[in-house]
């Protein structure tokens, strides 16, 4: 059977594109295109311009540095797409892109590296998700993503990957909430472990040894990073595809507030002409949204708020969407950020816990339901506590673990109520936000992610037609040769696109 790292390495280094179901191939292309959108959106923001100006291009000629910069830019606006379990794309997409040129990858090889890294990073993250770190604070995700992506891209053997994972996970990152919300350090949440993972591959190639049982050992990673370790999350490689759970972010910011934003966009036409007459706003939401709001709200202090805190602010995002009918990069920087009309409304937003919405969100595949089902009795306890129900009821609701993720959902819903000075009220409710895993995204992911990319890229590429042309090239990658991949990277890294692009 082998250790966890041995099983992951054997599967990853032996994976072929022909063995991948067509639906998963298509989702991998969408994952790549959506992540490129996140990188370019980050590059448009002033903090992203400082990153690129000081550290270089995410599409440059030094792959380790490009991967580092790419991770910071895609993290900047919390605009990255996700799977169960985790924000894997910072490493699982960013590293293959960074190494594609020097590794001479053709389109299929690039996509295969992304897919293998996604599947490994998602499983490692899922195995520790019943613990203190989830979402972006689970920075260990990127140790697994970076090691796997580089090993597959460079055609390393399984033994090298085992050693690299053992070395990388000997010193996994431990995020501090105060630094995450209260400074710009969040931008490096993925970049730092990406670099550690890449260094671990270099060390393994040089002959350094890692602990093959670093995951499951009583003093290993899972014992330290999970209150309820789920080593079974590693199973069903090539059968249970985590890529099937892809959720595409269509708004910059935390996914836990996407439903509230979508609801605000629904109400925008009805309140925009009376925006200054709004007297109260209530958002009924799940435990995920409420908990995130409690952690981030002390750091939201008006226009002086840091970017990390702003991306987690339900109040600011909802108020902006109500007024502007959109939420975009420019809303997180002056002069829009200084709009007192928005802040007056943002300050009145109240986020309230709704047990029914918590139950729905906790049962959905992502972000936690699949892990709870894998967790057995421990998962039952988590659901009972989070949804405010008995353990018997929780056990009946959870059911057995999923055999596959072809029917995955990420249902973090919200209800929005806007009250006007004259007492009139407007309401809207969203169950699964646009782009999140679910029936609509399974059918429309190509359309959704193409729209995201064009919106993100057009201001940097000279317009929508130029952005659409790049999107066409990404969608054609399954049949592209190495020269076409290099040409795509050269266009993305052109001097006219980003500072330091040459």
Tens of pLDDT, residue by residue over 229-287, are: 999 999 999 999 999 999 999 999 999 999 999 999 999 999 999 999 999 999 999 99
Return d(Cα 157, Cα 154) in angstroms, integer.
9
Domain residue spans of the chain:
4-250+440-492, 255-354+412-433
Mean pLDDT of 404-424: 97
Beta strands in 126-248 (DSSP E): none
127-167, pLDDT tens digit by residue? 999 999 888 999 999 999 999 999 999 999 999 999 999 99
Return d(Cα 145, Cα 192) in angstroms, integer.
12
Share of the chain above pLDDT 70, in %: 98
pLDDT recorded at residue 381: 86
Least confident interval from 152-161, 178-187, 406-415, 472-481: 178-187
Share of the chain above pLDDT 90, in %: 91
Q: Is the pLDDT of residue 496 over 50?
A: no
Q: Which residues contact 339 (CB under 8 A, 6 or more apart)?
A: 323
The CATH number of 255-354+412-433, from 3.40.50.2300, 3.30.1330.120, 3.30.300.350, 2.40.128.20, is: 3.30.1330.120
**Cα dist from 124 to 62, 68, 431, whole Å:** 28, 21, 28
pLDDT recorded at residue 498: 52
DSSP string covering 67-83, please? HHHHHHHHHHTT---BB
Q: Is the pLDDT of residue 355 over 80?
A: yes
Q: Is the pLDDT of residue 499 over 60?
A: no
**Cα dist from 469 to 43, 97, 460, 463, 465, whole Å:** 19, 18, 13, 10, 6
DSSP, collapsed to helix, strand or coil, labels residue 279 as strand
353: DSSP letter: E
Return d(Cα 173, Cα 144) in angstroms, integer.
12
Mean pLDDT of the chain: 95
Least confident interval from 143-147, 287-291, 380-384, 448-452: 380-384
pLDDT recorded at residue 209: 98
13-50, pLDDT tens digit by residue? 999 999 999 999 999 999 999 999 999 999 999 999 99
Mean pLDDT of 197-216: 98
Phi first, then psi: give them for residue 420, nearest 5 degrees.
-100, 170
Q: Is the pLDDT of residue 192 over 90?
A: yes
Phi first, then psi: give them for residue 278, nearest 5 degrees.
-65, 130
Position 500 confidence tier, pLDDT thresholds 50, 70, 90:
very low
Position 384 confidence tier, pLDDT thresholds 50, 70, 90:
confident
Least confident interval from 70-74, 88-92, 290-294, 474-478: 290-294
Contact 56, 66 (CB under 8 A): yes
Return d(Cα 392, Cα 396) in angstroms, integer.
6
Question: Which CATH code fits 4-250+440-492?
Answer: 1.10.4100.10
Mean pLDDT of 363-383: 92
pLDDT recorded at residue 495: 39
Return d(Cα 233, Cα 238) in angstroms, integer.
13
79-123, pLDDT tens digit by residue? 999 999 999 999 999 999 999 999 999 999 999 999 999 999 999
pTM of this structure: 0.96
Contact 55, 72 (CB under 8 A): yes
CB 42: neighbour CB atoms within 10 A? 31
Contact 101, 64 (CB under 8 A): no
Q: Is the pLDDT of residue 420 over 50?
A: yes
pLDDT recorded at residue 108: 98
**Same CATH topology for 4-250+440-492 and 255-354+412-433?**
no
């Amino acid at each position: 059977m082998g250790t966890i790292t041995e099983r992951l390495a054997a599967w990853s280094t032996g994976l072929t594109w022909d063995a991948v179901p067509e639906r998963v191939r298509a989702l991998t292309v969408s994952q790549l295109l959506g992540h490129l959108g996140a990188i370019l959106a980050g590059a448009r923001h002033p903090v992203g311009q400082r990153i690129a100006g000081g550290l270089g291009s995410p599409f440059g000629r030094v792959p380790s540095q490009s991967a580092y910069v790419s991770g910071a830019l895609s993290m900047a606006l919390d605009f990255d797409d996700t799977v169960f379990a985790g924000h894997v794309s910072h490493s699982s997409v960013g590293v293959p892109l960074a190494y594609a040129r020097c590794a001479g990858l053709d389109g299929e090889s690039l996509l295969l590296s992304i897919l293998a890294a996604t599947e490994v990073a998602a499983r490692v993250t899922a195995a520790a998700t019943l613990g203190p770190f989830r979402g972006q604070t689970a920075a260990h995700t990127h140790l697994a993503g970076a090691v796997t992506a580089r090993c597959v891209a460079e055609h390393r053997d399984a033994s090298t990957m085992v050693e690299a994972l053992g070395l990388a996970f000997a010193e996994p990152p431990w995020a501090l909430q105060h630094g995450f919300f209260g400074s710009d350090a969040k931008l490096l949440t993925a970049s730092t472990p990406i670099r550690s993972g890449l260094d671990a591959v270099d060390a393994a190639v040089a002959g350094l040894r890692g602990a093959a049982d670093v995951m499951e050992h009583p003093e290993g990673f899972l014992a330290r990073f999970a209150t309820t370790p789920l080593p079974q999350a590693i199973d069903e490689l090539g059968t249970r595809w985590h890529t099937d759970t892809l959720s595409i972010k269509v708004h910059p910011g935390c996914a836990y507030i996407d439903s509230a934003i979508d609801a605000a966009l629904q109400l925008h036409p009805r309140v925009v002409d009376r925006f200054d007459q709004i007297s109260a706003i209530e958002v009924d939401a799940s435990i995920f949204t409420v908990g995130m709001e409690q952690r981030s709200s002390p750091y939201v202090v008006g226009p002086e708020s840091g970017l990390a805190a702003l991306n987690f602010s339900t109040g600011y995002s909802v108020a902006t969407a109500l007024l502007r009918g959109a939420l975009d990069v420019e809303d997180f920087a002056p002069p829009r950020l200084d709009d007192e009309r928005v802040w007056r409304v943002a300050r009145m937003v109240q986020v309230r816990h709704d047990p029914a919405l918590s139950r729905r969100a906790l049962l959905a595949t992502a972000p936690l339901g699949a892990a709870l089902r894998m967790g057995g009795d421990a998962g039952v306890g988590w659901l009972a506590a989070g949804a405010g129900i008995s353990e018997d009821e929780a056990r009946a609701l959870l059911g057995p673990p999923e055999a596959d993720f072809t029917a995955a959902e990420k249902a973090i819903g919200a209800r929005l109520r806007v009250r006007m000075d004259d007492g009139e009220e407007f309401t809207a409710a969203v169950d699964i936000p646009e782009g999140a895993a679910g029936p609509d995204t399974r059918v429309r992911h190509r359309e959704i992610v193409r729209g995201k990319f064009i919106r993100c890229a057009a201001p940097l590429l000279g317009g929508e037609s130029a952005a659409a042309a790049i999107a066409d090239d990404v969608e054609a990658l399954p049949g592209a040769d190495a020269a076409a991949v290099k040409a795509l990277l050269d266009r993305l890294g052109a001097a006219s696109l980003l500072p330091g692009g040459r």
